[in-house]
Amino acid sequence: MSAGASAIAQQLPGQVAAVAPLTTPVLATANNGGVFPVFGDAASFSDTYGAPRAGTGWHQGADIFAPIGTPVLAVADGQLYNVGVNTLGGNRLWLRDGTGTTYYYAHLSAYAPGVVDGVTVHAGQVIAFVGNTGQAITTPPHLHFEIHPGDGASINPTQPLTSWRSASGATLPVQQSSPALGGASGSTAPASHPTVRSQGAVLVGVDRPAPVDEPAGDGTATAVR
């Protein structure tokens, strides 16, 4: 374990046991305090924080639309936990950074190999892939993404996401709002991204190996989302 990974693990007493750091590719570097969580320039999102939502009452994050199988990235150095499945989020995980801020990723089509509770990751590292699992099964593929400073209440992620996207050099496509989703709609062009092997789902445009049996998380979350 690197010195940075060890420091993060030490900052998280009582969370989950640290395991070997993730070895998937790092596709972006942190700028303006973080990394945009969906790789490539085909992703789009709009400010739907606070919009009504079935199941949760209101939207506590942002929906970032991109083709299924687009790599999902760690926005910061940190540790993954609660890797698993729930009814609303489908395949989902949490990331906790060294300051205690937590980030929620949901509706994933698959996890990157080695993604388990306690694994340490670097900003920009591939941790999963865009999908539409959970309550998003009838919607276009997207990442539901939340930010919780100090592991507390969520904040509107629009400003950080816009800042991280601008720093990445990618243009920000703007789509029409969908009444059903309160967010972006319509199809996007296939993403151009490197081959990254995955586990847990059959993906479009991603080279997937034979199924492997990797340990899963406990399937629980600190909030029902």
**CATH assignment of the domain containing 77:** 2.70.70.10
pLDDT computed for residue 223 by the predictor = 37
pLDDT digits (tens, 9 = 90+) for 26-64: 999 998 899 999 999 999 999 889 888 776 778 888 999
Q: Please, what is the average pLDDT of the chain?
A: 76
pLDDT greater than 90 at residue 8: no
Rounded to an integer, what distance in angstroms lies between the CA atom of residue 3 and that of residue 112? 23
Residue 176 domain-assigned?
yes
pLDDT computed for residue 15 by the predictor = 57
Residue 215 domain-assigned?
no
pLDDT computed for residue 42 by the predictor = 92
pTM of the predicted model as reported, rounded to 2 decimal places: 0.72
Residue 121 domain-assigned?
yes
Residue 18 domain-assigned?
no
**Number of structural domains found in the chain:** 1
What is residue 62's DSSP assignment?
E
Residue 107 domain-assigned?
yes
pLDDT greater than 60 at residue 199: no
Rounded to an integer, what distance in angstroms lies between the CA atom of residue 182 and that of residue 173? 16
pLDDT computed for residue 121 by the predictor = 97
Residue 201 domain-assigned?
no
At which residue do the structure tokens 């092997």 appear?
197
Q: Which residue has the higher pLDDT, 106 or 204?
A: 106
Residue 219 domain-assigned?
no
Rounded to an integer, what distance in angstroms lies between the CA atom of residue 218 and that of residue 216? 7
What is the span of the domain harbouring residue 109?
23-184
Residue 52 domain-assigned?
yes
What is residue 40's DSSP assignment?
S
